């Protein structure tokens, strides 16, 4: 790789977010967290800071350690070494119930024996609030998530989306220092997921609660979070704003994990690479000798397809995406590339038509060659 992977959060923003949101949330710091389960390293030196009021999403494949990190913050998991601090206070030895963290779980977690209102009021009851106060507050929260009229329903009388909204209200009712979201939308259908995504983000922004959000859905992470941390093997591969993560991934893993990425065979030339028969400069090829075989990582929007006779590829498939159309272009038996083309332009191309693929002057990453890989 041209840029070494790092487990450190080097992009911690200033307190702009906190100031903008009224500093309702807490400052959360993970310092060099390590945790192993047998021979598996779930956390391998994770360092991360969440500014007050910030929403950070941890994104990564299964087993990357994102859920472990969240559970460590919740106090449901211990670490082998490292520190978790909230507003400067070390949480070591503080039990889950004393951490003041609202959590929304992946599985439906409402108490089946209680109505929606009683579920939301549970945390307040535990805190000794009187009946009138906790009912008023619970009603307020249910109203906030748009379920005031369902207050007397039991969980089995609510849909999955409604249950998760009640769970969100329940987590927020205790005015948590930190809100923890453990893949809360993964069990819901696409339409409900989209609605709830917006609702969570709106509420979180309004209340200014520092939020750690764990997901394996990149669309969810990129659309909701202030910053997204991509994890791999218990380490933070990169953390950045969604735009930066997409446009300037620091490693091949991030580049291929976030969004769609073409992996094309290339050769190192002075100051750049030769790919698809053209030279692209400047490209960071530090540490690689001229003539070395590499893979070029280029996003679909970084390529163009022009119809020509006897071109380098054949249009194999077209997917209409609205303003753009994604073309699958067959360059050889083993190599297919994805090209995003304006739909007006793509409409003129037919399946089986010969095209030439060229790379735009765009951000290109190089990685060690992995054989005839195509698109990730």
Whole-number CA gyration radius for the chain: 24
Residues 36-75 close enough to bind other proteins by CB under 8 A: 74
Which of 14, 39, 62, 113 binds other proteins (CB under 8 A)? It is 113
Which residue shows structure tokens 């060099």? Answer: 32
Residues 185-204 close enough to bind other proteins by CB under 8 A: 192
Applying CB under 8 A, does 93 fall inside the site for other proteins? no
Contact stretch for other proteins (CB under 8 A) within 2-10, 118-126, 218-226, 314-322: 118-126
Cβ atoms of 251 and 3 closer than 8 Å: yes
Nearer to other proteins by Cβ, of 150 and 232: the residue is 150
Applying CB under 8 A, does 103 fall inside the site for other proteins? yes
Applying CB under 8 A, does 99 fall inside the site for other proteins? yes
Applying CB under 8 A, does 92 fall inside the site for other proteins? no
Q: How far is the CB of 27 from other proteins (least distance, A)?
A: 20
Which of 24, 82, 160, 311 binds other proteins (CB under 8 A)? It is 160
CB atoms within 10 A of CB 228: 28
> Peptide bond preceding 240: is omega within 30 degrees of 0, i.e. cis?
no
Applying CB under 8 A, does 96 fall inside the site for other proteins? yes
Q: Strand 28-37 vs strand 40-50: parallel, antiparallel, or unpaired?
A: antiparallel
Which of 4, 88, 93, 156 binds other proteins (CB under 8 A)? It is 156
**Separation CA 290–CA 281 (nearest Å):** 13
Applying CB under 8 A, does 209 fall inside the site for other proteins? no
**Separation CA 145–CA 211 (nearest Å):** 17
189-198's contacts with Cβ under 8 Å and 24+ in sequence apart are 189/160, 192/159, 192/160, 192/161, 193/220, 195/161, 196/161, 196/164, 196/165, 197/223, 197/224
Nearer to other proteins by Cβ, of 142 and 365: the residue is 142
3-state SS assignment for residue 139: helix
Applying CB under 8 A, does 123 fall inside the site for other proteins? yes
Applying CB under 8 A, does 207 fall inside the site for other proteins? no
Count residues binding other proteins (CB under 8 A): 38
Q: How far is the CB of 43 from other proteins (least distance, A)?
A: 19
Nearer to other proteins by Cβ, of 101 and 298: the residue is 101
**Separation CA 26–CA 139 (nearest Å):** 25
Residues 242-301 close enough to bind other proteins by CB under 8 A: none
What is the secondary structure of 66-118 as a DSSP string? Answer: HHHHHHHHHTSS--SEEEEEETTEE-TT--GGGS-EEEE-SS----TTS-HHH
Applying CB under 8 A, does 319 fall inside the site for other proteins? no
Closest CA relative to residue 329, chosen from 309, 352, 308:
352
Q: How far is the CB of 76 from other proteins (least distance, A)?
A: 6
- Chain residues binding other proteins by CB under 8 A are 74, 76, 95-103, 105, 107-113, 122-123, 126-127, 155-163, 167, 170-171, 174, 180, 192
């Amino acid at each position: 790789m041209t840029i070494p992977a790092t487990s450190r959060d080097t992009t911690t923003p200033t307190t702009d977010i906190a100031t903008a949101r009224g500093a309702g949330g807490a400052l959360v710091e993970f310092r060099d967290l390590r945790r192993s389960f047998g021979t598996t390293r779930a956390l391998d030196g994770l360092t991360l800071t969440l500014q007050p009021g910030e929403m950070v999403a941890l994104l990564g494949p299964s087993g990357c350690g994102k859920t472990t990190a969240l559970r460590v913050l919740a106090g449901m998991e211990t670490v082998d070494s490292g520190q978790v601090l909230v507003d400067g206070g070390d949480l070591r030895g503080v039990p889950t119930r004393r951490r003041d963290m609202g959590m929304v779980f992946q599985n439906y977690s409402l108490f089946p024996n209680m109505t929606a209102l009683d579920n939301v009021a549970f945390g307040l009851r535990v805190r000794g609030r009187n009946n009138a106060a906790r009912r008023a507050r619970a009603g307020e929260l249910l109203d906030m998530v748009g379920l005031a009229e369902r207050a007397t329903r039991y969980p089995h009388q609510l849909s999955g989306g409604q249950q998760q909204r009640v769970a969100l209200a329940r987590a927020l009712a205790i005015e948590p220092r930190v809100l923890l979201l453990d893949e809360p939308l993964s069990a819901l259908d696409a339409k409900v997921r989209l609605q709830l995504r917006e609702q969570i983000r709106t509420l979180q922004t309004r209340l200014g609660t520092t939020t750690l959000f764990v997901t394996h859905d990149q669309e969810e992470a990129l659309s909701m979070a202030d910053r997204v941390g991509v994890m791999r093997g218990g380490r933070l591969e990169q953390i950045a704003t969604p735009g930066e993560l997409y446009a300037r991934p620091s490693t091949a893993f991030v580049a291929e994990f976030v969004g769609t990425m073409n992996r094309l065979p290339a050769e190192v030339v002075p100051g750049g690479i030769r790919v698809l028969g053209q030279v692209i400069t400047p490209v960071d090829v530090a540490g690689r000798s001229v003539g070395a075989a590499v893979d070029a990582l280029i996003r679909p929007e970084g390529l163009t397809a022009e119809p020509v006779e006897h071109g380098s590829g054949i249009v194999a498939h077209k997917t209409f995406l609205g303003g753009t159309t994604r073309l699958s272009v067959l360059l050889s038996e083993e190599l297919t590339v994805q090209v995003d083309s304006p739909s007006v332009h793509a409409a003129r191309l037919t399946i089986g038509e010969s095209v030439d693929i060229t790379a735009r002057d765009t951000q290109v990453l190089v990685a060690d060659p992995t054989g005839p890989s195509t698109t990730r």
